[in-house]
Amino acid sequence: MRAFIAIDLPDEVREELAIVQRELQPVSNSAKWVAPPLIHLTLKFLGEINEQLVEEVHQNMAGISWKPFPITVKGVGFFPGARSPRIFWAGLIAPNLETLAQRINARMEHLGIENERRRFRPHITLARASKARLESSLVTAATPFEEHDFGTFTVDRCYLYQSETKPSGPIYTQLREYMLS
């Protein structure tokens, strides 16, 4: 099964992000928008893992110790950049987040799950290019939201999710919950 470890967003933040998505959808034919109920913050993509490894992931995550911390969702941008955009994202202000992701990554690497090649860049994916890249019209239309504040919330847990790809879009199922304490 495909799996990942992520932080869920409160409904208020999801709705703020959905408002921006709805406003910008008409300016892009190449964007595949993330459905608002599926918007999340990925800490570690695990890829294809078997049931035994799911249990090992659970055992390693159950022992994680971390104090709850605030996250502010603020601003938007593009990966790899505005000149050749492939991902449209919302930014995050969360000083402890990168260290938490590194700790989770190290625990998963210990299980034989490949280490991330790229540095962790905290973001929330709002849309992906369905073709080679997103249109420059989307980049221009997103400019008013570059400093937009979508809200602040406290992270006190994360989840192990299963991801299934269906013709109608992905389905994410929470398998386990991990309290940060």
89 token code pair: 């994202």
Residue 55 and residue 140 in contact, taking contact as beta carbons nearer than 8 Å: no
Residue 151, exposed/middle/buried by CB under 10 A (0-12, 13-18, 19+)?
middle
* Catalytic residue, candidates 40, 58, 110, 148: 40
- Cα distances (Å, whole numbers) of residue 126 to 20, 35, 88, 179: 9, 8, 6, 26
Residue 47 and residue 163 in contact, taking contact as beta carbons nearer than 8 Å: no
58 catalytic per annotation:
no
Residue 43 and residue 134 in contact, taking contact as beta carbons nearer than 8 Å: no
* Catalytic residue, candidates 58, 110, 123, 148: 123
123 catalytic per annotation:
yes
Strand order in the sheet with 87-93: 31-33, 123-129, 87-93, 69-79, 149-155
- For the annotated catalytic residues, the residue numbers are 40, 123
